Structure 1
Amino acid sequence: MKSHYSDAPAAQRIARHTLAVIVDNEPGVLARIAGLFSGRGYNIESLTVSETEHEEHLSRITIVTSGDDAAIAQIMAQLDRLVPVHRVDDLTASGEAVERELALVKVAGRGEHRVEALRLAQAFGARTLDATLNSFIFEFTGAIDEVDRFIRVMAETGVVDVARTGVAALPRGSSKG
């Protein structure tokens, strides 16, 4: 006998999406967008904002969030309905995008820990921005998973503090995103 549950649709896959939102650069826009996410129970994993077109007073908000296809479509539709929003692009759905994040990692230590921190930072291609007798500050730029890996590896050498910028992303090729 066939179960009724076998005809049920398969659970949608939860995936990470990077959204590029072009908005008017005016007070309260970011609060409205954050309110949209929190009011509907969506999480913002990464958020970057910067004015990109000074003459037109436009800013680009890059948001990394996770959800199934229906949730992402709903987020995009709701963002698109906000008055100060000019355009919403799902950079993940539109194909390969170039995504980068910058991390500043402060490591404290002496002796062997200090030597190991320098060796690992060099292996990852990180830049040394500050060095004292007791600590270093390294700058590392890469894809999210590379930044995560760098921080995990450096944790073994005595990480004191970490600051991350959030994701900056653009679509590959000639398309605007």
Structure 2
Amino acid sequence: MDVTHEGEAISVRFVPNTDLTVGSHRRASQSIRLVRTQLKRFADAVETKDGGVTAHFLMADMNAVSDFISRIDEKLDRLRNEKITIKMLEEILLLTPLERQRWTKDGRLPAAGNSYIDRGQKIRLWTYSPDVVARLWKNPEIIENWRKADLASGSASAGQSD
């Protein structure tokens, strides 16, 4: 977070970085909502624009604002460490559902756990480590090599999805 201080007024600006979002628009939106909600509790004015949130504290004590920002940073750290859902994974790595399923099943894309949703019955969904996803996102050649290997082995049609 960027903090500017002019007289008794303090401005705080948050724009999610790729370290937090790993390229996910969903996670970026989630982080902006989290920060905006927290800032609205104490700031005199909060605005969301240009892919981030800005808060203005008019008669603020810098120590109090710093403590407040530290608490928000702790919440963002928890978000950063949350496991990645299948929809986020597919968005971040530009995978088809069939690629994700095949690569999870054969171990190339290790699942980090499960989450469950209740749709009349419990449905298990894989979740993925943010560190593994970040590594793959930063090294897209890994996924390209997986696709080439699948094509060479004749399982390329399994990677196609409507």
TM-score bracket relative to the smaller structure: under 0.3
The TM-score, its normalising length taken from structure 2, stands at 0.28
